[in-house]
Amino acid sequence: MTLKQPFGTVVAVHGPTVLRVCRAVLGTVDADDAWSETFLSAMRAYPDLPADANVEAWLVTIAHRKAIDVARATSRRAIPAGELPETATAPGAGHDPDLADALARLPDKQKQAVAYHYLAGLPYIDVAAILGGSTDAARRAAADGIAALRRTYPGVAARKGERR
């Protein structure tokens, strides 16, 4: 029998990853709201979650929906179209602002596919379930996203070489 972890443990274990995903998809400022909504909603539903469920995939699925809600609410607060709010690309202090910036410029589907697969570590079948569409489409969106990142952020390729 699998025991269901106390929710506090779920927050401690998955909180950092979910926040990274929210930051990648939404930007740093809005990510806090999406994170809070995600875990509050997850906590509401947690008693009914099967003990053997994939908690990370479940949380990212909720985060995906909450991020869309938060993004809608933000855009309703009248930010000029075509201009990304500065906060949307603000990175963690001292780390690769360029990479965050490059990711922020990707189309939503690509950005989400990259975040859910590369940041949350979900297999493409789970990414596809979140985004809708086929596993192949999810894989393609992530590959397109990576290709675009490589073009706009060559550091990804260069750094690999340096580290060898």
Partner 1 sequence: MNTNHDLPRLLAQAYEAAPEHLRALQARLAAAAQAEGILDVAYRTVDSPVGSLLLAATEAGLVRVAYASENHDTVLQTLSDRISPRILNAPARLDAVARELNEYFDGQRHGFDVPLDWRLSAGFRSTVLHRLPEIGYGHTASYAAVARLAGNPRAVRAVGTACATNPLPVVVPCHRVVRSDGSMGGYLGGVEAKRTLLSLEAAA
**Residue 20 within binding range of partner 1, rule CB under 8 A:** yes
Residues 111-150 that bind partner 1 (CB under 8 A): 114-115, 118-119, 121, 146, 149-150
Are the beta carbons of 156 and 163 closer than 8 angstroms?
A: no
- DSSP at 82: T
Using the rule CB under 8 A, which residue among 23, 64, 66, 109 binds partner 1? 23
Distance separating alpha carbons of residues 48 and 73, to the nearest angstrom: 29
Gap between the Cα atoms of 96 and 159, Å rounded: 12
Among 52, 81, 95, 132, binds partner 1 (CB under 8 A): 95
Tokens representing residue 32 in the block: 């806090």
CA–CA–CA angle 5, 18, 44 (5° rounding): 50
Sole binder of partner 1 in the list 91, 129, 139, 152 (CB under 8 A): 91
**DSSP label at residue 86:** G
Residues that bind partner 1 (CB under 8 A): 3-9, 11-12, 15-16, 19-21, 23-24, 32, 35-36, 39-40, 43-44, 46-47, 91-93, 95-97, 99-100, 103, 114-115, 118-119, 121, 146, 149-150, 155-157, 159-160, 163
